[in-house]
Structure 1
Amino acid sequence: MKIPLVKKRVAILGATGAVGQEFIVSLKDHPWFEVTQLAASERSAGKKYTEAIRDPNSGIVKWQVGGEVPQYVREMMVVSIDQIKTDELDLVFSAVESDAAREIETKFAKELPVVSTSSAYRYDEDVPILIPGINDEQVELIETQRKNRNWKGYVLSLPNCTTTGLAITMKPLYDNYGAKRVFMTSMQAISGAGRSPGVSALDVTDNLIPYIPKEEGKVRIETAKILGKLKDGKIIPADIKVSCTCTRVPVIDGHTESVFVETSVPTKLADVTNKIHEFSDHISVIGLPSAPKDYLVVHQDPTRPQPRIDRELDGGMTTSMGRLEEDQIFENGVKYVLFSHNKKMGSAKGAVLLAEMLYKKGKL
């Protein structure tokens, strides 16, 4: 794999928010990418980064991702979106959470590649929802997108963080055994709700919230699109019926999901486990700087996976499976529990891995 002689210059949009901060951590000392511009709201523009994230009332620096603010951004000036210098960039990471995300990402995609964690473009026909290692071939839709929109750049979207774990674990099952129906119940961390408005501590303490607005529809649509096939410049969604119930639980980071899959052909547990291991061992992202050593792990211990134990596996980039069993309700089927880190593989660090995959494919 060739290594860039000169690092790619990148900007982070929404750099002061929780996801923007995850980008800053994920790109610290990155061998291929250098953060050269940080953008946020007008309120933050014109300030050094540490001042931009300081609470004006308490004076506390609101660094939300653990550890200390990385040295490399402390003195960097935050600019407004309109002040970003596109001619001095090779790539834009978008962590914009507002309703303005589509307008902002469109502006930059006219000139530059944009990798986004927002939902602004996820459901457009010529925009793939990408998980590196799962549906890499859909990257080729970039050329269709450029032609359709007359852009020099493009937009690529990550899925909703709840979809990420489901699609990753479904990929080896769907490819080897097919899938007719999937039933999933999620137990999602409070960090998945973001900070504004987020989840009230009083609402979630000693409690479970059995409804997350719009989440279930996202999972249904995105899973089928990710596992679909690219044909004649369009993604043909996978013919899978997904029914899910998405809930919020008092866990800080990481989404756990209980999954039942009706397969198209008979399965044997030992064979399913072997297929998952083979898939993980030969995953396309092996060797990329942000790729985990183990893309997927299957725990034999029936008490795993657990958020507190498994969230830091390979820096939050490993997806864990456990309780893998043949299911008796379906004529053919399996059930399992998965765990995926919503703020790492399901967000900024997954976006950085996507950018690495794009570089490897010559798309940057």
Structure 2
Amino acid sequence: MAKLRAALIGATGLAGQQFIAALKDHPYFELTGLAASPRSAGKTYGEALRTASGMTGWFVQEKLAPQVAAMKVVSGDALEARDYDLVFSAVEADVARELEPKLARDIPVFSAASAFRYEADVPLVIPPVNAAHAPLVREQQRRRGWKGFIVPSPNCTTTGLAVTLAPLAERFGVKAVIMTSLQAMSGAGRSPGVIGMDILDNVIPYIPKEEHKVEVETKKILGALDAAGSAITPHDVRVSCTCTRVNVLEGHTESVFVSLASKATVADVTQAMREWRGAEVANNLPSSPPAWIELFDDPFRPQPRLDRETHGGMATTVGRVREDGVLENGFKYVLVSHNTKMGAARGAILGAELLRAQGLLG
């Protein structure tokens, strides 16, 4: 079967670069188009990355493929849907709100942007957690008269939290969650990003809109699609969080306190996480890790520098699972999740792989 032709908008940003790295030699998708801001249009991708100092601004670990560096970049609003089979989007929310619907009229759009996450007819997909929500795209097409659709990936902070809550919700039920995040600088992107002198020797105690995103998205992701496939009923879990920015390059760390609906022991909780495989359809996708959650017994793990790349940045690592004496049936743990891989680009590609496996791309 021929590979599907994929375009990428927002190609020069940090998330866009992660998309490019993840799509290299992909078995299903071939990157055939690159789009960015008008100032990059008409340049080769390599030229578009060049900074005023002459440095090539390629910031991911994987090498930039010469054939990608030689590709011409077009302006995002000049991208023609008829030339592609699907689009990956790594643009800011305000740009996404304008560009993504234009493309979705004709072809599927898989987005790392927040613009459409909260629409009633838009699934917010983490494949192992809620693959059953994906058919909501048919309702989206029906309501909007589109041939394509928009499937956003969740906020990067929500992703690791939702992955670790899923096995607990399935086995014990979850009533309430309190979470404090220590989020990597890369989550802010490079433009405008976080100014080095602000974050050095410091913790920024507030990230605009982040806490609301986590609280709303977690309930939607853990919710249930109705029998008609037309709406998602949010989970009734109560979520409260504080989101901070710390002097770490990649990998979000989160301290999680959860109140379970039924009694359990630490051994029960760790067993639930270790044994969890999530939705069967999500386990044989090209980007799927061998395990979605990896647990540590070492009380000094997980750490972002040591553990963010676990299974190619697609696994959530967990440690320090303990009982909590304040919450009813309370437990607490620490997680690390790769914010620009599973939490952004590779997570969005995983979503596209899922919908292909479910026969929803055609």
TM-score (norm 2): 0.96
Match of 1:252 among 249, 254, 259: 249
Does the aligned pair in 1 maintain the 2:181–2:254 contact within 8 Å?
yes
Matches within 5 A, 1:140-155: 140-155=135-150
Pick closer, same or farther for the CA change 1:45–1:254 going to 2, 3 Å: same
- What is the root-mean-square deviation of aligned Cα atoms in Å? 1.3
Q: Report the Cα distance in structure 2 between the residues aligned to 1:152 and 1:344, rounded to whole angstroms.
A: 28
Pick closer, same or farther for the CA change 1:139–1:322 going to 2, 3 Å: same
Residues 200-243 of structure 1 deviation map (CA, whole Å, 9 limit, x = unaligned)? 11111111111111111110000000000011411110001111
Residue 299 of structure 1 and its aligned partner are, at CA, apart by 0.7
Does the aligned pair in 2 maintain the 1:207–1:250 contact within 8 Å?
yes
Residue 67 of structure 1 and its aligned partner are, at CA, apart by 4.2
Q: Report the Cα distance in structure 1 between the residues aligned to 2:62 and 2:163, rounded to whole angstroms.
A: 29
Q: Report the Cα distance in structure 2 between the residues aligned to 1:214 and 1:73, rounded to whole angstroms.
A: 34
Partner in structure 1 of residue 335 of structure 2: 338
Matches within 5 A, 1:185-264: 185-231=180-226, 232=228, 233-264=230-261
Aligned length: 359
Residues 29-75 of structure 1 deviation map (CA, whole Å, 9 limit, x = unaligned)? 111110011111111111111011111x2121111213432223011
Structure 1 window deviating more from structure 2 (267-276 vs 341-350): it is: 267-276
Residues 1:17 and 2:7 are matched in the alignment: no
Partner in structure 2 of residue 299 of structure 1: 296
Match of 2:265 among 265, 268, 276: 268
Residues 1:287 and 2:297 are matched in the alignment: no
Residues 248-289 of structure 1 deviation map (CA, whole Å, 9 limit, x = unaligned)? 111110000000001111012222222212213875422211
For structure 1, the residue ranges without an aligned partner over 5 or more in a row are none
Residue 100 of structure 1 and its aligned partner are, at CA, apart by 2.1
Partner in structure 2 of residue 91 of structure 1: 86
Helix, strand or coil at the partner of 1:100 = helix
Deviation above 6 Å: which 4+ runs of structure 1? Answer: none
Residues 93-125 of structure 1 deviation map (CA, whole Å, 9 limit, x = unaligned)? 011115121110000000000000001101100
TM-score (norm 1): 0.96
For structure 2, the residue ranges without an aligned partner over 5 or more in a row are none
Match of 1:109 among 104, 110, 116: 104
Q: Report the Cα distance in structure 2 between the residues aligned to 1:46 and 1:136, rounded to whole angstroms.
A: 39
Pick closer, same or farther for the CA change 1:98–1:335 going to 2, 3 Å: closer
Pick closer, same or farther for the CA change 1:302–1:331 going to 2, 3 Å: same
Partner in structure 2 of residue 33 of structure 1: 29
Does the aligned pair in 2 maintain the 1:137–1:230 contact within 8 Å?
yes
Identical-pair percentage: 54
Does the aligned pair in 1 maintain the 2:89–2:112 contact within 8 Å?
yes
Helix, strand or coil at the partner of 1:321 = strand
Match of 1:328 among 325, 328, 348: 325
